[in-house]
Amino acid sequence: MKFFHSGQILGWNSRKRGCQPLLRFTSKEVQVMEALSRHPHPNIIRYYGCRVVRSPITGLIMEGHAYTLSTYLNGGIGKIDKSSFMNALESPIRHLHAPD
């Protein structure tokens, strides 16, 4: 399943001042996701690409999941085994910080 995430990216008016930091952030996010797509990890969401409309990036296309991190953090899926969760989190963090 693919999920298109646009979040607040579509919520800016490019004629207003102040959108440049958002454009830079989005560009950096795409660069990181592109690098991760070349070196995937099973515990990191899969990235498929981005949506561009008249030059600015308007959204990211990523793997869809049944639950969000917010759902987990707010206890919406039941009790989480902290030890297993932390072990599952350690591996992708090491992967992100590993030298190329």
Q: In what order do the strands lie in the sheet with 2-5?
A: 2-5, 57-63, 47-52
Give every CB contact of residue 30 below 8 A, 6+ residues apart in sequence.
Answer: 50, 57, 60
> pLDDT tens digits, residue range 27-56?
888 898 999 999 999 989 899 988 888 877
Residue 9 pLDDT > 50, yes or no?
Answer: no
- pTM of model > 0.75: no
CA atoms of 62 and 97, how far apart (whole Å): 21
**Can you give the residue ranges of every domain in the chain?**
2-97
pLDDT tier at 11, thresholds 50, 70, 90: very low
